[in-house]
């Protein structure tokens, strides 16, 4: 029995689980491996970064070498003249420069008195006058009355132009371009050939102040004349008397002719002749001296001035006031001739109310 018990005790000691001290040793061994692994990974990362930096440095050196080697073959910076030459546009560039010089010359000569080259170097004699008779879409009857009275028509109109006087009815376009109003005017013009159609102007009562700019601009671009005459469509002209008056002033520069007047400025909105810009005319609310809108005349260089500067000229509620304001800033010669006062009782006047 003792021998059997002794044997069992020995067997139990043989299979006894490990003690806590051996477990601690194993954990310590495992924890010691972690820093080694981290250090190894850090070394690998350092080697990778160093390798990439070295590759980038090598790449920069190669590119720098190629750039230095080929720097002599790089094209030079081209000037505008070089580009034009390469494109075969030297002639065009020269023409542009000449056109700019011509434009500058035209602008300067358009309002300098006494300059005979303002409209070109041609020796062709100027027309005496271009007469523009304002009209509207609903004024066909008035036009027919004029054609049968003081205004020539057909071959007689052509003969008058050969003598140096052009007469045209002046009208803009409808707000609805190409509608029946426009078509009727085009049809009438094909038959009579006595219209000056302002393609850029909208024919409407509220646009009347701007019509005068379009008229003088279109007239001076179409005809080179000594004088440009604006006439309302309720005026009868003594054409022979007007021509005689203008012939006596042929060659004059800076003439602003008409029945000069001034008057009060209407500042109450809704009233007839209301002036939205009334506050610009001072506390006395009186218009400056200007030619009556029924009929007034501008010499060539004044009409050319309006054409050149039309975009920057201020328009007021009435076309005669607008033109008068433009003339105030110029060295214009005001000619107050009562023969141009269509409402006067003078026998020798060249106009009268129809």
Q: Tens of pLDDT along 162-208?
A: 999 999 999 999 999 999 999 999 999 999 999 999 999 999 988 88
Residue % of the chain over a pLDDT of 90: 42
pLDDT score recorded for residue 65: 74
pLDDT 10s digits, 268-321: 677 666 767 665 665 556 677 889 889 999 999 999 999 999 888 988 878 888
Average pLDDT over residues 126-152: 94
More confident residue, 97 or 227: 227
Helices (H) and strands (E) in the chain, counts: 11, 9
Averaged pLDDT, 231-240? 93
Task: Pick the range with the lowest mean pLDDT from 96-100, 218-222, 225-229, 276-280.
Answer: 276-280
- Could you tell me what percentage of the chain is helix, strand and coil, using 3-state DSSP and rounding each to the nearest 5? 50, 20, 30
State the pTM of this model.
0.65
Tokens read off for 10: 């020995």
Residue 117 confidence (pLDDT): 42
pLDDT score for 172: 96
Q: For 315-342, give one letter per residue: b (16+ CB within 10 A) or e.
A: bbbbbbbbbbbbbeeeebebbeeebbbb
Residue 21 has pLDDT above 90, yes or no: no
Q: Are 128 and 223 in contact (CB under 8 A)?
A: no
Give Cβ neighbours of residue 145 (< 8 Å, ≥ 6 apart): 354
How much is the pLDDT for 259?
93
Band of the pLDDT at 114, cuts 50, 70, 90?
Answer: very low
Type and span of the H or E element at 241: helix 239-247
Question: Would you place residue 216 in the very low, low, confident or very high pLDDT band (cuts 50, 70, 90)?
Answer: very high
Q: Of the candidates 318, 154, 331, 193, which has an alpha carbon nearest to the alpha carbon of residue 255?
A: 331
Average pLDDT over residues 105-119: 50
Domains and CATH numbers, the chain: 127-258+292-353 (3.90.550.50)
Looking at residue 116, its pLDDT comes to: 44
Rounded distance between C-alpha atoms, residue 80 and residue 84, angstroms:
6
């Amino acid at each position: 029995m003792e021998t059997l018990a002794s044997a069992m005790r020995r067997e139990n000691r043989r299979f006894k689980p490990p003690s806590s001290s051996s477990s601690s040793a194993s954990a310590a061994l495992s924890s010691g491996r972690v820093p080694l692994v981290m250090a190894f990974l850090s070394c690998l990362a350092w080697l990778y970064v160093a390798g990439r930096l070295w590759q980038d440095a090598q790449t920069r050196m190669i590119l720098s070498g190629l750039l230095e080697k080929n720097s002599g073959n790089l094209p030079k910076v081209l000037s505008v003249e070089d580009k034009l030459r390469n494109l075969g546009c030297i002639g065009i560039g020269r023409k542009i420069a000449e056109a700019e010089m011509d434009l500058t010359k035209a602008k300067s000569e358009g309002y300098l008195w006494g300059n005979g080259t303002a409209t070109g170097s041609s020796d062709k004699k100027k027309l005496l006058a271009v007469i523009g008779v304002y009209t509207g879409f609903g004024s066909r009857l008035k036009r027919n009355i004029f054609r049968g009275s003081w205004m020539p028509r057909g071959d007689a109109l052509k003969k008058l132009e050969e003598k140096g006087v052009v007469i045209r009815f002046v009208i803009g376009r409808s707000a609805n371009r190409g509608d029946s109003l426009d078509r009727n005017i085009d049809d009438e013009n094909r038959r009579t050939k006595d219209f000056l159609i302002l393609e850029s102007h909208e024919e409407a009562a509220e646009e009347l102040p701007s019509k005068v700019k379009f008229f003088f601009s279109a007239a001076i671009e179409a005809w080179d004349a000594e004088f440009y005459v604006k006439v309302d469509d309720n005026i009868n002209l003594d054409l022979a008397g007007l021509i005689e008056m203008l012939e006596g002033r042929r060659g004059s520069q800076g003439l602003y002719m008409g029945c000069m007047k001034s008057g009060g400025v209407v500042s109450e909105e809704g009233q007839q002749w209301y002036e939205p810009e009334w506050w610009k005319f001072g506390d006395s609310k009186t218009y400056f001296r200007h030619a009556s809108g029924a009929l007034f005349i501008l010499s060539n260089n004044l009409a050319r001035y309006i054409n050149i500067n039309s975009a920057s000229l201020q328009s007021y509620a009435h076309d005669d006031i607008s033109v008068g304001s433009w003339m105030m800033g110029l060295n214009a010669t005001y000619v107050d001739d009562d023969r141009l006062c269509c409402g006067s009782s003078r026998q020798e006047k060249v106009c009268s109310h129809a």
